[in-house]
Amino acid sequence: MITVREIARLRAELANHRRAGRSIGLVPTMGALHDGHVSLIHRALEQTDVVVVSLFVNPAQFNDADDLSSYPRDQTRDAELVARLGVAYLFAPPVAEIYPPGYSTTVRVHGVSEGLEGAQRGIGHFDGVATVVTKLFNIVAPDRAYFGRKDAQQVAVIQRLVRDLDIPVAVEACPTVRDPDGLALSSRNRRLGPAGRARATALSRALASVARAAADGCDRTAALAAGRSELERAGIEAEYLEVVDPATMLPSELDGDERLAVVAAHVGPVRLIDNLPVRRFSPDPHNQVATPIGAPTDR
């Protein structure tokens, strides 16, 4: 595996592979890698010939200087891990390589960026994400790029971005990897103490309660109340707990279609997010089970 810090060098390396007809997969990360990232890398290794993992703690997407400075960093371990997995390139540029002096351009995806994380962290958060991902797409020109459903709104923003700007890349949304007790893996989990780690499991339990209530036929209000009481039992006050349409990320009623229950909350000093698909059970009297052709009927 080769660690590359300059855009020009990475472009030159990848041009050789492209000329040889090899497909390129990109897994963008902010490092402090865990099994969630590893699942994305495995997927990329299965589907593409040359995998680039980018490691860049993007200052533009942090609204809080303390959050940026305390974000976990462990580049030596990350480099060893991706090398063992069979990744060809680790792209780990310094900040000035991505945002050189005079840098002036921002990519904004309206609408889908504005609620939930955009409302809590400020619209600048997804401006930062959309800008750096656009730059990575331009630098790497991947055939496929891999993102985690754990950051569901980020996936929706990037899918919109790729469609709107006609970027020729296939965006793969990969399933959320969880610890056995349900906690979604996150680089930020490292900063939870043992007590916080135990309390943090309430987020996935709350989402599971919303999903169960929906499957039992509850409406949105009742399903969210079930989720909120799970958080209250752990002494957690959510920044948001919502049911949204996964394409628009706007609050939505529950019906027979798939929705997403989404949550964000602080557990001590650590801000966590999670989500789970939910669907309301709605018996439809007009949609009876069809009798197979040729089967005996009562009539």
Applying CB under 6 A, the residues found at the interface with ligand AMP are 29-30, 36-37, 39-40, 147-148, 150-151, 174, 176-177, 184-187
Nearer to ligand AMP, 137 or 147 (CB): 147
**169 in Cβ contact with 144 (< 8 Å):** yes
Show the tokens assigned to 115: 């609620």
Nearer to ligand AMP, 10 or 27 (CB): 27
Q: Indicate which residue of 17, 34, 37, 125 is catalytic.
A: 37
The torsion angles phi and psi of 156, rounded to 5 degrees, stand at: -65, -40
Nearer to ligand AMP, 38 or 83 (CB): 38
d(CA 286, CA 293): 19
Nearer to ligand AMP, 177 or 211 (CB): 177
d(CA 192, CA 269): 8
Nearer to ligand AMP, 149 or 259 (CB): 149
Strand partners, 260: 244, 277
To the nearest whole angstrom, how small is the minimum distance from the Cβ of residue 271 to ligand AMP?
12
To the nearest whole angstrom, how small is the minimum distance from the Cβ of residue 155 to ligand AMP?
7
To the nearest whole angstrom, how small is the minimum distance from the Cβ of residue 126 to ligand AMP?
13
To the nearest whole angstrom, how small is the minimum distance from the Cβ of residue 165 to ligand AMP?
19
d(CA 200, CA 217): 27
To the nearest whole angstrom, how small is the minimum distance from the Cβ of residue 72 to ligand AMP?
10
Active-site residue, 17 included: no
Show the tokens assigned to 255: 């019906």
d(CA 43, CA 222): 37
H helices of the chain, where?
7-19, 35-47, 65-70, 75-85, 95-98, 116-121, 124-140, 152-164, 194-215, 220-233
To the nearest whole angstrom, how small is the minimum distance from the Cβ of residue 80 to ligand AMP?
17
Residue type, 74: D
Nearer to ligand AMP, 32 or 226 (CB): 32
Show the tokens assigned to 186: 């996150």
CA angle 221, 249, 227 (to 5 degrees): 30
Beta-sheet strand order (sheet of 259-267): 238-244, 259-267, 270-278
d(CA 67, CA 56): 15
d(CA 207, CA 81): 31
Q: Could you give the residue numbers annotated as active site?
A: 37
